[in-house]
Amino acid sequence: MSMKGAKIKVGFAIEEEIVRELDSVVKSSRDLQTSRSELVDAILAAFFKRQEKPVEKARKLLIMRRKGLI
């Protein structure tokens, strides 16, 4: 059984500052031959698969983001 599920392309907007950070990580990880897409996928997978209550955490993060706290 494969550990990876089927991939679905999604489109969304990300702040320029975050894109620069992602690009920095990708550039620093040339030995892994990664892409921005793979990095975002790994971050999201870690969030949703490692959180005990990802919905509650996501809601808290969304509220914090809207208040300008993150």
Taking the C-alpha atoms of residue 59 and residue 65, their distance in angstroms, rounded to an integer, is 10
Taking the C-alpha atoms of residue 43 and residue 63, their distance in angstroms, rounded to an integer, is 20
Nearest one of 13, 44, 43, 15 to 29, comparing CA atoms: 43
In the chain, where the domains are located:
16-66
Give 46's pLDDT tier (boundaries 50, 70, 90): very high
**How confident is the prediction for the chain on average, in pLDDT?**
91
Q: Is the model's pLDDT at 32 over the cut of 90? A: yes
pLDDT value of position 6: 87
Once rounded to an integer, what is the mean pLDDT over residues 16-30? Answer: 96
